[in-house]
């Protein structure tokens, strides 16, 4: 286990959360990474299939398999342990640029948007993030910018009550930009450090909804040229390669600054993290994954650590 994975309780939680993806890899390659098989072309073909079926993506998989092939040809890989170590190193290198701590920087209030399609867990993510930031001694305010769903407003209010956090909300169907404007102004008046803005889930192909998101962004920017300081795209790990189009569309609309990948515990497609890294690498526009969701509990929003992620993914049962 790497030094980065030395926090054993966290590592165990991540390992448990990645169980479905890890089992899919194990089913695809059997005892390949932990057994006695000779490393040859057939082994690499099986590994290639395993990576593709966990949504690592074609481009990333090709780069990784080519690097391993080169090592096999140079006789640097002659057993399962050597293959596992080489694969781990390549996977860690693939996502190295995705690592950065989530920090509340300059500007008060520090405004954070959560954006994404329907059902990714934006509201829950903000409730968990509010809990985390409060634990750092910051005063947090929640803005119920998802006015399309009454349930979203109610859910955010529940998180506010649970965490003892103020929530700014209006009725269902209210203008989202107005809600966010009121929230930022209230935070300025009350001395809050952070405003966490929930936004309505939207399909990236729905032009009118994306335009509304841009409007909210413009309204906040008029109040403070630095805001929003963070725009977090919340991605459901279960959508696999569809996440790549979401990254492109939301980044074009509002300038995504980082990601939260949710529901890893319920998906066998955690490899999409590597596909996202490849897409960003090709565009030469790295952005961090700040957090991953590995459960339903209030403390199950975990900082993303690439080394621990890979170690947990390749660990034996």
At 42-63, the pLDDT tens digits run 888 888 988 888 888 899 999 9
What is the tens place of the pLDDT at every residue in 71-81? 888 887 777 78
Pairing of strands 301-303, 289-293: antiparallel
| Contact predicate 262/294, CB 8 Å | no
Residues ≥6 apart with Cβ < 8 Å to 138: 104, 193, 194
Q: What is the pLDDT at residue 5? A: 43
pLDDT band at 141, cuts 50/70/90? very high
pLDDT in tens, 261-283: 988 777 667 788 999 999 998 88
CA atoms within 13 A on the CB side of 17: 27
pLDDT in tens, 219-266: 999 999 999 999 999 999 888 788 888 998 899 888 999 999 988 777
Distances (CA, A) of 177 to 29, 204, 213, 224, 238: 50, 19, 8, 14, 30
Per mean pLDDT, which of 204-208, 211-215, 219-223 is the most reliable?
219-223
12-30 burial code (b ≥16 CB/10 A, e <16): ebbbebbbbbbebbbebbe
What is the average per-residue pLDDT within 134-163?
Answer: 89
- Say how many residues make up the chain: 317
């Amino acid at each position: 286990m790497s030094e980065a994975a030395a926090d054993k309780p966290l590592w165990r939680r991540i390992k448990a959360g990645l169980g479905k993806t890890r089992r899919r890899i194990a089913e695809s390659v059997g005892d390949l990474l932990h057994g006695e098989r000779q490393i040859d072309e057939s082994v690499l073909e099986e590994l290639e299939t395993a990576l593709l079926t966990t949504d690592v993506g074609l481009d990333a998989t090709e780069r990784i398999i080519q690097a391993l092939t080169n090592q096999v040809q140079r006789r640097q890989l002659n057993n399962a342990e050597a293959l596992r170590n080489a694969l781990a190193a390549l996977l860690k290198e693939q996502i190295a640029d995705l690592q950065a701590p989530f920090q509340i920087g300059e500007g008060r209030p520090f405004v954070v948007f959560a954006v994404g399609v329907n059902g990714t867990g934006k509201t829950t993510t903000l409730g968990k993030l509010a809990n985390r930031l409060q634990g750092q001694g910051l005063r947090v305010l929640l803005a119920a910018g998802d006015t399309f769903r009454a349930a979203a407003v109610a859910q955010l209010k529940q998180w506010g009550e649970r965490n003892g956090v103020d929530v700014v909300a209006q009725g269902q169907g209210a203008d989202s930009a107005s809600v966010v404007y009121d929230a930022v102004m209230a935070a300025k008046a009350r001395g809050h450090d952070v405003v966490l803005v929930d936004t309505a889930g939207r399909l990236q192909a729905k032009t009118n909804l994306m335009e509304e998101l841009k409007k909210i962004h413009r309204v906040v920017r008029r109040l403070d040229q630095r805001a929003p300081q963070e725009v977090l795209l919340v991605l459901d790990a279960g959508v696999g390669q569809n996440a790549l189009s979401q990254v492109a569309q939301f980044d074009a609309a509002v300038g995504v600054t980082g990601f939260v990948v949710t529901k890893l515990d319920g998906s066998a497609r955690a490899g999409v993290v590597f596909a996202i890294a490849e897409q960003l690498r090709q565009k030469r526009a790295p952005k961090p994954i700040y957090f991953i969701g590995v459960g339903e509990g209030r403390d199950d929003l975990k900082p993303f650590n690439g080394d621990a992620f890979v170690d947990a993914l390749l660990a034996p049962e």
